[in-house]
Amino acid sequence: MCGEKKAQHTNIKTSSPLAESTVTFGFCGFTVIKITYVSLILASSSILNLVTEPSLYAPTYAGISRGVLAYYWSRFDVPASDLELAAEVSEDRVLDALETGIKHSRSVSSGNFKISEVTAAFTDPRMARNPRSMDCFYFLEAEEENTKKFTSPGYPTGYPITSRCQWQIRTSEKKSIVVNFPFFNIEDDCANNFVFIYDSLSPDDQQAITQKCGQRPPSNPLTVVSSGNLMLINLVIDSNVQRPGFEAEYKAIPLSTAKTCGGVLSEKEGNFTSPLYPQFYPPSVDCKWTIKAPAGNKVRVKFTMFRMKEPRVDTRVCHKDYVEVMGTKYCGEMASLALTSDSNILEVNFHSDMSYTDKGFSAEYSAYDPADPCPNQFACASGICIGKQLKCDGWNDCGDMSDEMQCLCDKDQFPCTNGLCKPKMYVCDRVNDCGDGSDESRCSCDDNEWRCGNGFCLPKDVLCDGKLDCMDGSDEASCQSSRDMCFDFSFVCKNKECVNKVNAECDRVNDCSDNSDEDGCNCGTRPYKLNRIVGGQNAELGEWPWQVSLHFLTNGHTCGASIISDTWLLSASHCFVTNDPANHVASNWLTYSGMQDQYKQDGVQRRAVKRIISHPNYSHMTFDYDIALLELSEPLQFTNTIQPICLPSPSHIFPAGMSCWVTGWGALREGVSQLLQKASVKIINDSVCDSVTEGQVTSRMLCSGFLSGGVDACQGDSGGPLVCFEESGKWFQAGIVSWGEGCARRNKPGVYSRVTKLRDWIKEEIGI
């Protein structure tokens, strides 16, 4: 890409139809001159002794801002036999050639125009378009009064699978350009399918605003702003699938609207954001906010959203875009950032450089009395206040852990070296619960012993002896010698072959000779690129596309379920097998897929239920076998917000300590929630689960949550999924919300039906 000297080699790309004989690479750049003049740029070719194509010259406007008049690119096709010459082409040489050419140009020496700056940089050859051919090349003029539109070629049916398009947008001086993409859906592979946006008419990486691919939900639209009156939008597609593409709206706004920011904030509390938030902030902007609290007070600032990510930036240094507070620069993406001042005045500086922008930040500030920073509350080290009851509850409520430090541990708790308290049962369970490893540090087995995945020590000779010694099979996993043996953890292929590899299914590697481990893997992905909002328990639209709301008669939302195919849902038996036989009547239920808000129907698919299959062994006394299958009256159409979850094979392992997510519209306190809620919970060790539930769990159940309480599924979430993200890039359903003693209580985790143990039953019933 432009501006990247290092990229010299990666930009060299064989081009067709000359693929065998030539190598193509390009330069882009611009000259700043007073009037348009074309031929001078060609000077580069005479010095570089290479086969060159005539430069393609983009017609330019006279009198546009900054005096930028000429943009061009040069393409050099080097015969493969002269490949060593390619190394001689450097940005400096091209620049040299240009400058020499310009110096000797008659128009320059006659004073027709003055050249103040010439730049040249490598560019990705895919970025260069021939404006003369007018093939997918557009000149657009943005106006303040009028929002205009353009779309990708073939939108919304689908773009050509090889597409190269450019939109050059200009407006008059003292204005900037805003481009919003209300719809954006292109391939996920950003290397070959992307929209690249520049704060220039040249595809110069040093003036890149952003590069995007994938799909964006309506809740996370892309809106970019230029720093001046030019913007270039490039579309590059090399794909074998068609996606709809994008729709874009553009208009001009006064430069002052884009660039004016900062000021003095002297209220007791308030909010401020990066320029134009939640749109992308413009490049090349600096703002300063001075927050003034009354004398004797101090200032605290909490960033509720912070995203200033840029390629190739070390977030410890933040040498490009940053927020600076009290001499420290912050950049990247941050989950929580809260700061307090030393005096009654706090300055917050925002800087965006000339390339790459992002959503920016949103912050809250307030003045406080340092003698009593948090009246009737606990003061976190960061200065923010939290409820007193949250101190030492095992939860990081402050964001900096200060509420969980120096706690007096109960007698059933283990004092971690870092001051945290963890349940004693967590010691030596192979999960680093303390965070500093102290709960797992004195658990090692003797030198001549092997430590099983569940923490047990066994003599070393159990390793790969062809017998299962550790309960979790860890002594036989990945052994060459046990290749053809089958254990509980082995994945059994369709042809009955065993694969001794943990979680072999749908991991994009063909492990079975009949490839059956990669069959039926169109599941567990979420098409949308999502907003990442700091904290927050409200799910976003499309975040959990397998979640379904089950409505019973006129009662509204009653239970959750998950999509496992276009006609089958998975839920809990206890939603249907109750004292009231009406609960087991399929026609009394309606299912809503693609829903996020119980009061919004956009994109929601409503289906009646044709059949309910409850597990015949379901016990309403013990909640054992709490699983049910629902057949839909009509198939679902999969969309961005409606997708199936992957079902794990019986051998799939969700290890203790793994962080998974439970979702549902269930009880927040009372009744149901309007918006789909999400909670991150950890898989709890089976022996811990057994002991905290006083032996009430069966092998068809698993515990998940936090023994410290605080996060859990609850009434109304029943039947909903507990899902875990696997390294293969797919989401698998580990559990079905089933029961628990109350909700979110200390030492009372949520209990879920264990899908791996019930997997064979699903297959027997419905063949999925």
Query: Of the listed pieces 142-150, 230-238, 255-263, 715-723, which binds ligand 4AZ according to CB under 6 A?
Result: 715-723
Minimum distance, C-beta of residue 739 to ligand 4AZ, in the bound complex (Å): 5
Instruction: Please list, in sequence order, all residues whose beta carbon lies within 8 angstroms of the beta carbon of residue 10, skipping any fewer than 6 positions away.
Output: none
Q: Are 712 and 750 in contact (CB under 8 A)?
A: yes
Query: Residue with the closest Cβ to ligand 4AZ?
Result: 740
Minimum distance, C-beta of residue 733 to ligand 4AZ, in the bound complex (Å): 16
Number of residues that bind ligand 4AZ (CB under 6 A): 11
- Annotated ligand binding at 321? The verdict is yes
What is the C-alpha R_g of the chain?
A: 31
Minimum distance, C-beta of residue 624 to ligand 4AZ, in the bound complex (Å): 15
Minimum distance, C-beta of residue 706 to ligand 4AZ, in the bound complex (Å): 11
- Annotated ligand binding at 205? The verdict is no
Instruction: Please list, in sequence order, all residues whose beta carbon lies within 8 angstroms of the beta carbon of residue 584, skipping any fewer than 6 positions away.
Output: 576, 577, 612, 614
**According to the binding rule CB under 6 A, does residue 301 interact with ligand 4AZ?**
no
**Is 557 marked active-site?**
no
Minimum distance, C-beta of residue 697 to ligand 4AZ, in the bound complex (Å): 13
Closest C-alpha among 743, 338, 728, 762 to residue 534: 338
Please state, in angstroms and rounded to a whole number, the distance separating the CA atoms of residues 469 and 500.
15
Among 497, 517, 712, 726, binds ligand 4AZ (CB under 6 A): 712
**Is 336 marked active-site?**
no
CA distances from 441 to 172, 421, 470, 472 (A): 66, 15, 21, 21
Q: Which is nearer to ligand 4AZ, 383 or 740 (CB)?
A: 740
Q: Work out the number of other CB atoms within 10 angstroms of the CB of residue 245.
A: 25
Query: Of the listed pieces 36-44, 139-147, 433-441, 708-716, which binds ligand 4AZ according to CB under 6 A?
Result: 708-716
Pick left, alpha or beta for residue 535 (phi over 0 → left; psi -120 to 50 → alpha; otherwise beta): left
Minimum distance, C-beta of residue 392 to ligand 4AZ, in the bound complex (Å): 22
Minimum distance, C-beta of residue 590 to ligand 4AZ, in the bound complex (Å): 19
Query: Of the listed pieces 131-139, 378-386, 432-440, 714-722, which binds ligand 4AZ according to CB under 6 A?
Result: 714-722
Closest C-alpha among 259, 277, 399 to residue 336: 399
To which residue do tokens 């209220």 refer? 267
DSSP class per residue in 339-397: EE-SSSEEEEEEEE-SS----EEEEEEEEE-TTSSSTTSEEPTTS-EE-GGGTTSSS--
Please state, in angstroms and rounded to a whole number, the distance separating the CA atoms of residues 450 and 432.
19
Q: Which is nearer to ligand 4AZ, 63 or 671 (CB)?
A: 671
Pick left, alpha or beta for residue 125 (phi over 0 → left; psi -120 to 50 → alpha; otherwise beta): alpha
How is residue 499 annotated by DSSP? E
The residue from 574, 686, 708, 717 that is catalytic is 574
Q: Work out the number of other CB atoms within 10 angstroms of the CB of residue 632.
A: 22
φ, ψ (nearest 5 deg) of residue 583:
-65, -25
Among 715, 733, 753, 756, binds ligand 4AZ (CB under 6 A): 715
Q: Which is nearer to ligand 4AZ, 724 or 743 (CB)?
A: 743
**According to the binding rule CB under 6 A, does residue 718 interact with ligand 4AZ?**
yes
Please state, in angstroms and rounded to a whole number, the distance separating the CA atoms of residues 351 and 371.
34
The residue from 204, 507, 626, 712 that is catalytic is 626
**According to the binding rule CB under 6 A, does residue 722 interact with ligand 4AZ?**
no
> What mask, x for binding ligand 4AZ by CB under 6 A, covers residues 662 to 701?
----------------------------------------
Among 179, 323, 425, 713, binds ligand 4AZ (CB under 6 A): 713
Please state, in angstroms and rounded to a whole number, the distance separating the CA atoms of residues 499 and 512.
7
Please state, in angstroms and rounded to a whole number, the distance separating the CA atoms of residues 462 and 471.
12
- Annotated ligand binding at 353? The verdict is yes
Q: Are 232 and 202 in contact (CB under 8 A)?
A: yes
Q: Which is nearer to ligand 4AZ, 341 or 718 (CB)?
A: 718
Minimum distance, C-beta of residue 717 to ligand 4AZ, in the bound complex (Å): 6
Q: Which is nearer to ligand 4AZ, 125 or 560 (CB)?
A: 560
Minimum distance, C-beta of residue 585 to ligand 4AZ, in the bound complex (Å): 20
**Is 626 marked active-site?**
yes
Q: Which is nearer to ligand 4AZ, 421 or 736 (CB)?
A: 736
Query: Of the listed pieces 5-13, 138-146, 420-428, 709-717, which binds ligand 4AZ according to CB under 6 A?
Result: 709-717
Instruction: Please list, in sequence order, all residues whose beta carbon lies within 8 angstroms of the beta carbon of residue 361, skipping any fewer than 6 positions away.
Output: 273, 274, 277, 303, 305, 306, 307, 308, 323, 350
CA distances from 98 to 71, 142, 144, 222, 462 (A): 13, 32, 37, 37, 72
Please state, in angstroms and rounded to a whole number, the distance separating the CA atoms of residues 605 and 592.
6
Q: Which is nearer to ligand 4AZ, 59 or 742 (CB)?
A: 742
Among 258, 714, 734, 755, binds ligand 4AZ (CB under 6 A): 714
> What mask, x for binding ligand 4AZ by CB under 6 A, covers residues 727 to 766?
----------x-xx--x------x----------------
Please state, in angstroms and rounded to a whole number, the distance separating the CA atoms of residues 692 and 701.
13
The residue from 55, 708, 718, 753 that is catalytic is 718
What are the residues binding ligand 4AZ (CB under 6 A)?
712-715, 717-718, 737, 739-740, 743, 750
Give the residue numbers of the binding site.
321, 353, 355
Q: Which active-site residues does the annotation give?
A: 574, 626, 718
Give the residue numbers of the binding site for Ca(2+).
321, 353, 355
